[in-house]
Amino acid sequence: MTTFTTQVAIVGAGIQGCAAARELALRGVDVLVLDSEYAGRHASGVNAGGVRTLGRHIAELPLALASKRLWTRIGELVDDDCGYRQSGQLKIATSAGTFEALRVRSDRIAESGLPHVERLLTPLEVRDLVPAFVGPITGAAYVVDDGSALPFRTTQAFRRKAESLGARFVEGASVHSASRVGGEWRLLTKNGHEIHANQVINCAGAWAASVGSMFGDKLPIQPNGSMQIVTTRLAPFLSPVVSVFGQALSIKQFDNGTVVIGGGHRSPVDLCTARAELTLSGLAQAARQASKFFPILMQATIARCWSGIEGFTPDGLPLIGVGSAPSVVHAAGFSAHGFQLGPAVGVVLADLVTTGNASIQISGLDPRRFRELSSESS
């Protein structure tokens, strides 16, 4: 057993915890990151790597746009390019109704005044951009400078950079209780460590509700598995990341020719064992759907598939903000789209801890939008 004393303890070494650690260490704050397993073991290391502003809810667009600006400097931020590339992201409409929905959204973004453009493409432009797509096309929304990155490499890069700036990481340390003693937090881990911290950030991903309850907060987070398929290599046929409006489908081809198919096929999870199941019917559905729109995929076989554990909120938006107890901040419930947000979430968490105010607009993400946080009030 070891006793650690720190200014800020972060529970969870996913992309959010590692990005916050880097930003805090950069600001000269003493920070200790704890993880039950190891950095990037869960959603942050196994996601599809989509770096997307396309289709984001207006409430999280300011955060996503701030993050995009950071992604374009990723090499400078973490000394690694993280496999980041701006290949564009495209959402294809296959009916008049879905194209109308893309048009309404595009107008709404323009009215919001946010510096973001989802360009509407004609069917001909879509065919030029994605010649391998088969099916009706009524148009698409396109963000030319969206793209993708390598998730595990990115999370590790944030962790390494944070460490190089003085942050400490303790892996294999599952926090199981928190108590307030003499104006500071005392955290205990299952393997017997004791941590004394002035402030705590809850970045525990799908486990954030149970960590939140240690601080008396009831976070509405539902864990779920999200399944992905990777195929064997094919000759290059797809440059942008493509999704289809109204379908649980996202598809991208890497430079090595492999294709990642995902987009929302869920599977059961067990938080106690930290395991997600694969459901063959869901995988078959994803493969069928992908090869319906991209018949070229019939030439490939499935190389591997997996399911990653993620925390979902009732409205699909993250919970970022202070808790009801003193000196506690939560950042969780990223609902399968938190990887892109990571760099900016790091900044916001460091802001909340050091100044109490976020430098990026996050008012629509306040955990209190659902109810009073404290478990005693519900």
Ligand X SMILES: Cc1cc2nc3c(=O)[nH]c(=O)nc-3n(C[C@H](O)[C@H](O)[C@H](O)COP(=O)(O)OP(=O)(O)OC[C@H]3O[C@@H](n4cnc5c(N)ncnc54)[C@H](O)[C@@H]3O)c2cc1C
The distance of closest approach from Cβ of residue 210 to ligand X in the complex, given in angstroms and rounded to an integer, is 7
Residue 96: count of CB within 10 angstroms of its CB: 11
**Residue nearer to ligand X on the CB measure, 139 or 151:** 151
The rounded distance, in Å, linking the Cα atoms of 144 and 363 is 28
With CB atoms as reference, the residue minimizing the distance to ligand X is: 14
Per CB under 6 A, contacts with ligand X among 226-255 are 226, 228
Backbone angles phi, psi at 160, to 5 degrees: -60, -45
Q: Using the rule CB under 6 A, give the single segment among 43-51, 107-115, 124-132, 283-291 that binds ligand X.
A: 43-51
The rounded distance, in Å, linking the Cα atoms of 202 and 217 is 11
Binding-site size, ligand X (CB under 6 A): 40
- The single residue among 22, 41, 91, 193 that binds ligand X, judged by CB under 6 A, is 41
Residue 158 near ligand X by CB under 6 A: no
- The single residue among 121, 200, 203, 362 that binds ligand X, judged by CB under 6 A, is 203
Q: Which amino acid is at 163?
A: E
Residue 334 near ligand X by CB under 6 A: yes
**DSSP assignment, residue 232?**
P
The rounded distance, in Å, linking the Cα atoms of 360 and 66 is 7
- Kind plus residue range of the DSSP H or E element containing 92: strand 89-93
x-or-dash string of contact with ligand X, 255-284, rule CB under 6 A: -------x----------------------
The rounded distance, in Å, linking the Cα atoms of 303 and 293 is 20
Q: Using the rule CB under 6 A, give the single segment among 6-14, 98-106, 116-124, 322-330 that binds ligand X.
A: 6-14
Q: Using the rule CB under 6 A, give the single segment among 104-112, 122-130, 295-303, 334-342 that binds ligand X.
A: 334-342
Residue 221 near residue 209, CB atoms below 8 Å = yes
- Write the burial class of residue 325 (CB in 10 Å: 0-12 exposed, 13-18 middle, 19+ buried): middle
- The single residue among 9, 10, 13, 229 that binds ligand X, judged by CB under 6 A, is 13
The rounded distance, in Å, linking the Cα atoms of 182 and 34 is 22
Q: Residues in the site for ligand X, rule: CB under 6 A?
A: 11-17, 34-37, 41-44, 46-50, 174-175, 203-207, 211, 226, 228, 262, 308, 310, 332, 334, 336-340
